């Protein structure tokens, strides 16, 4: 029995893939309108009412077009950008290494086009929320449009503000930074997070990572790790399977750390020489 949620409705987003050229488009189907290509055109009325995963023939040439339900990665890669996006493979690592899930409260600095913002918004639904900040009007305007396209506007608040000087939060689960100078934020990030909360900083260059590590150590963070992901597509052909000759060689470095509460409770004072004081970290921490 067909499930109604797998049927394409008027105004749905669809992911259209051309059979031979592997060209791909993200489009909203509107009754009475058409999608034109050099291989003919598709009537959206011929798509509406079908199941996602159907083949539609172009007019008048009869070329095959595949119509799929868009994945979040499809929307990210095809969304309108006001700045460089964070790619799906990096977003996957961020989700796993921060533990963001339904109900999480997340603060993001550096909204950009909202590629990461939108995916995080999906993962915190229905009870969590993303508070995202940027200082650029153009980025905020485009990101809000992209949140509507992703269907997460109710789970995301995008605000124009300098997070270092104009924003305060508390009891946050995760803070995600995509800033030019993330090391300047670490004292404030520590105040935002609940104990054991996670900060993730995305940086394109290693000099930023070095400064961020030092700032994390100096502001009572622990379990500090930096990762880089490389994705290589494999071209599969009979007797000629090999890696694609082109790839994205570098996207960015992702640094993760957890907030540590360095204060020793009163009932533990007898076990410590510091008697309830904030413990300094050793030099080699």
pLDDT digits 0-9 by tens, 157-200: 999 999 999 999 999 999 999 999 999 999 999 999 999 999 99
Q: What is the CATH number of domain 73-271?
A: 3.40.50.150
CATH topology of domain 4-70: Vcp-like ATPase; Chain A, domain 2 (3.10.330)
Peptide bond into 102 cis (omega under 30): no
Residues spanned by CATH 3.40.50.150 within the chain?
73-271
pTM for the full predicted model: 0.79
Q: Which of 35-44, 53-62, 276-285 has the lowest mean pLDDT?
A: 276-285
3-state secondary structure of 152: coil
CA distance 195 to 221: 10
At residue 285, the pLDDT reads 45
**Beta strand spans in the chain (E):** 13-18, 24-28, 34-37, 40-43, 54-57, 64-68, 105-109, 129-134, 156-160, 172-177, 193-203, 221-227, 234-235, 242-243, 253-259
Give residue-wise pLDDT tens across range 84-134: 678 888 999 999 999 999 999 999 999 998 989 999 999 999 999 999 999
DSSP three-state, residue 225 = strand
**CATH 3.10.330.20 in the chain, residue ranges:** 4-70
């Amino acid at each position: 029995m067909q499930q109604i949620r797998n049927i394409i409705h008027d105004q749905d987003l669809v992911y259209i893939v051309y059979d031979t050229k592997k060209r791909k488009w993200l489009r909203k189907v509107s009754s009475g309108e058409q999608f034109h290509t050099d291989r003919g055109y598709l009537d959206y009325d011929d798509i509406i009412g079908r199941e996602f995963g159907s083949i539609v023939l172009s007019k008048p040439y009869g070329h095959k077009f595949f119509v799929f339900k868009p994945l979040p990665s499809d929307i990210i890669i095809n969304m309108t950008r006001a700045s460089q996006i964070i790619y799906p493979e990096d977003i996957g690592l961020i989700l796993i290494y921060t533990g963001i899930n339904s109900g999480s409260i997340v603060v993001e600095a550096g909204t950009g086009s909202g590629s990461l913002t939108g995916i995080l918004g999906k993962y915190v639904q229905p009870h969590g929320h993303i508070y995202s900040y940027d200082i650029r009007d153009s980025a905020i305007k485009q990101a809000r449009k992209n949140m509507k396209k992703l269907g997460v506007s109710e789970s995301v608040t995008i605000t124009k503000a300098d997070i270092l000087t104009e924003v305060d939060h508390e009891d946050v689960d995760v803070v995600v930074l995509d800033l030019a100078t993330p090391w300047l934020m670490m004292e404030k990030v520590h105040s935002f997070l609940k104990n054991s909360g996670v900060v993730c900083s995305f940086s394109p260059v290693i000099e930023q990572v070095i400064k961020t590590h030092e700032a994390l150590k100096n502001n009572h963070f622990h379990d500090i790790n930096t990762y880089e992901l490389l994705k290589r597509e494999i071209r599969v052909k009979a007797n000629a399977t090999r890696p694609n000759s082109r790839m994205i060689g570098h996207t960015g470095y992702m640094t993760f750390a957890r907030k540590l509460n360095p204060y020793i409770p009163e009932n533990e004072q007898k076990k410590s020489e510091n008697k309830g004081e904030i413990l300094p970290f050793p030099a080699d921490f």
